[in-house]
Amino acid sequence: MQFGTKSGNPAKTRCQCIIAGIYENNKLSDTAKQLDRASGGYIRKMLNRGELKGKPGQSLILHDVPDITAPRVLLVGLGNIDTADPARFVQVANAAVSALRGTPAKSALCCLLDVAAGDKDAYWKTRRIVERFEDGVYKFTDMKGKPPENNGIVIESVDLQIADRSEQELVEAGIDDAAAVSAGINAHKNLANTPGNVCTPTYMAEAARSLAKQYPSVTTTVIEEKEMEKLGMGAFMSVTRGSDQPGKLIVMQYKGAKPKDQPYVLVGKGISFDTGGISLKPGAAMHEMIYDMCGAASVFGTITTVAMQELPINVVGVIAAAENMPSGKASRPGDIVKSLSGQTIEILNTDAEGRLVLCDALTFVDRYKPVTVIDIATLTGAAVIALGSPATAMYANDDALAGELTGAGEDTLDRVWRMPLWEEYQSQLNSSFADMQNIGGREAGSVTAACFLSRFTKKYRWAHLDIAGSAFRGSGANKGATGRPVGLLTQYLMNMADAETGA
């Protein structure tokens, strides 16, 4: 989809649909007022019939409005004019693209920049509009027998109406940044939505190699199983040995700063399909386990965006890619393995495999002397029970890093909620036979999983994002990967780049 800007009289703009906002109690946004005047009061006349109350999420399409050049006017509800906030603005943008998607319109003029969103400026509003429009038209059609032309997307171009010329640069910057973030989010979705019979660890490695070919600033290295064995990645190998698909440790290095500058490191769980291994999962929802590599997909998507934006920092993205299968070679409950750190782990449940591949990856990345390390994983169902889908569970061993991620989440509305990482929980991981066991019992499952990982991250500032609830929707009409937390991670890295350059 193409995005641009327009100014001038919206009533005379040549496009196939104009989008304007209506507050509750028939209060019109500035653009709606212009359209109403141009149409001789037609807009207000339609509103007086009571078909649109102005509540957030509502919409109404008017056809052939008098003296309006566009054949359609899409009115979207804005809610109470006195209580506008950022979250509601995103709701309005979602409603606009949803309604527009139901029309044959190929072009639109979006006049929502005149809508209040708390204290947010035109740059912020532009990014949210573009990102929501890109999200709203996304479709995964790669696996269709005959993929529809242009992925079935009708809308080709959207222009944003600018009333104040002084905001032109802010809006253009917002379009550029949103396009890059959306490209990363779509890359995440495409990788995550690809089924496990196609999206194997080898497939993920090839995707990372292709990314390096596309962007000279990215270098991809793939560490194979033989080398992982030599390195001593016993925890990782305990997961992948049950599968015919070879595991991969995929390292993508983005170099946007001086070679000696310390990098920011992202580590993603990339279980291409998770049967649970010998501790076999129930069959009813097992198809959702194609999404057990959403952590890896978020790393891939974030590196994509960072490379597009050419951020002046160094970033290392590591994907721990493996398939968890039951076989004669698979790990058994009760097995004890030695991790790359030298610590031994008693595997009491082979379905707690994500932490096993991650712990070796987290030990591996210490060689980069990172500024910070963030791991991203669909790690526990307990995180879903605790927080549902609105928030990602966050754990951190550093208050400043936790604050930076929380701030980036609030800005993008890709939110996190900090969970406890207290020493009192560590005892649940005690083992009589090894240094630790890989599960901590029924209580506080997400917390003890994070506590397990924390034992491998003592040398650097670290945060863990458990995205089991936020990364995908497993069923229903909106089934598929959400692209989260690419928005959060890219905003964090953009903020860090600004801090380092003094922007």
Active site residues: 281, 355
CA atoms within 13 A on the CB side of 470: 27
Q: Is residue 90 helix, strand or coil?
A: helix
Count the Cβ atoms, other than its own, within 10 Å of residue 384. Answer: 17
Of 133, 116, 209, nearest in space to 174 by CA: 133
Q: Write down the residue that tokens 């690809």 correspond to.
A: 194
Of 469, 219, 490, nearest in space to 374 by CA: 490
CA 73 to chain centre: 32
Number of H helices, E strands in the chain: 14, 20
Count the Cβ atoms, other than its own, within 10 Å of residue 435. Answer: 17
| Alpha-carbon gap, residue 223 to 214, rounded angstroms | 21
**H or E segment to which residue 204 belongs:** helix 201-214
Of 390, 374, 354, 352, nearest in space to 469 by CA: 390
DSSP secondary structure code for residue 61 in this structure: E
Residues 6+ apart with CB under 8 A from 168: 5, 162
Q: Are 266 and 376 a contacting pair, CB within 8 Å?
A: yes
Peptide bond into 485 cis (omega under 30): yes
| Alpha-carbon gap, residue 202 to 46, rounded angstroms | 58
Q: Is residue 28 helix, strand or coil?
A: strand
Which tokens go with 275? 């049967």
| Alpha-carbon gap, residue 152 to 101, rounded angstroms | 11
Cα–Cα distances in angstroms (integers) from residue 343 to residues 32, 251, 337, in the given order:
65, 23, 9
Count the Cβ atoms, other than its own, within 10 Å of residue 140. Answer: 17
Residues 6+ apart with CB under 8 A from 202: 245, 246, 248
Q: In what order do the strands lie in the sheet with 335-338?
A: 335-338, 344-347, 436-437
Residue ranges in 280-374 assigned as alpha helix (H): 294-309, 354-364
- Amino acid sitting at position 242: G
Which tokens go with 437? 């066991």
| Alpha-carbon gap, residue 112 to 21, rounded angstroms | 7
b/e code 274-302 from CB counts within 10 Å (16+ = b) = bbbbbbeeeeeeeebbbbbbbbbbbbbbb
